[in-house]
Structure 1
Amino acid sequence: MWPEIKAGIREVGILEMEIYLLENRLFMIVETSLDFDWDTAMNQLAKLPRQEEWENYMAIFQACAEGATSDEKWNMMQRIFYLYNS
């Protein structure tokens, strides 16, 4: 991962990030501030230096259209289950 990619992730307001791979799917967990806006952040991220190059590389691991940007590939999911220690 190039330094520009890490800097861009931070620049759009993502505090922590994990990405998991399962076959041709990537699953991402992010921690953000409470006022974080996903759509705005992904749109900004898509325009940052080297991001297009990074997205093209990551497309190797994803089932997506060629040239897809961050805001086209990453979508919010709804959590349907969690188990925490009480």
Structure 2
Amino acid sequence: MKRFCQMLRLKENKDLIEEYTRVHANVWPEVQRGIKEVGILDMQIYVRDNLLFMIVDTIDGFDWERDMTRLSMLPRQAEWERFVAKFQDVEEGASSREKWTLMDKIFELVK
């Protein structure tokens, strides 16, 4: 299994952040199916103020660029990205790859 962690900033607006949280309680079924179809096993998003942190666990053969590009072309994915963009502190028309910043792991507790 591979793990990827990313961050993104939301617009600093309490009402928008609350709505973004509500929206993610009901992610469209086509988007959820697409996430699984490309090899993502688990995806979690955490929020603190206007900062989001996402953990993505994938199959071993997952290639971030290839498989996220494939995800972007699946049904309703582009529509979802446009829909949630109104909450995000990003340039208009930015792709998911441009919005979310991959993070580097700097520590792991030895098992």
Please tell me the TM-score bracket, short chain as reference.
0.7 to 0.9
Aligned residue in 2 for 1:13: 39
Moved more, 23-32 or 46-55: 23-32
Structure 1 unpaired stretches of 5+ = none
Q: How many residues align?
A: 85
The structure 1 segments of at least 4 consecutive aligned residues displaced by more than 4 Å after TM superposition are none
Deviation at 1:72, TM superposition (A): 2.4
Q: Pairwise mapping of residues 64-83 of structure 1 onto structure 2 (< 5 A)? A: 64-83=90-109
Deviation at 1:83, TM superposition (A): 4.6
Q: Which has the higher contact order (CA 8 A, sep 6+)?
A: 2
TM-score w.r.t. the length of structure 2 is 0.64
Go from structure 1 to structure 2 and tell me whether the alpha carbon gap of 1:68 and 1:24 turns closer, same or farther (over 3 Å shift): farther
Deviation at 1:75, TM superposition (A): 3.4
TM-score w.r.t. the length of structure 1 is 0.79
Structure 2 unpaired stretches of 5+ = 1-26
Is the CA contact (8 Å cut-off) linking 1:12 and 1:41 kept in structure 2?
Answer: yes
2:72 to 46, 59, 68: 46
Go from structure 1 to structure 2 and tell me whether the alpha carbon gap of 1:52 and 1:23 turns closer, same or farther (over 3 Å shift): farther
- Matches of 1:60 and 1:71, distance apart in 2: 16
Give the structure with the larger strand fraction: 2
**Sequence identity, in percent?**
54
Instruction: Note the alpha carbon deviations across 1:47-72, whole angstroms, 9 max, x for none.
Output: 11111221122223322121222232
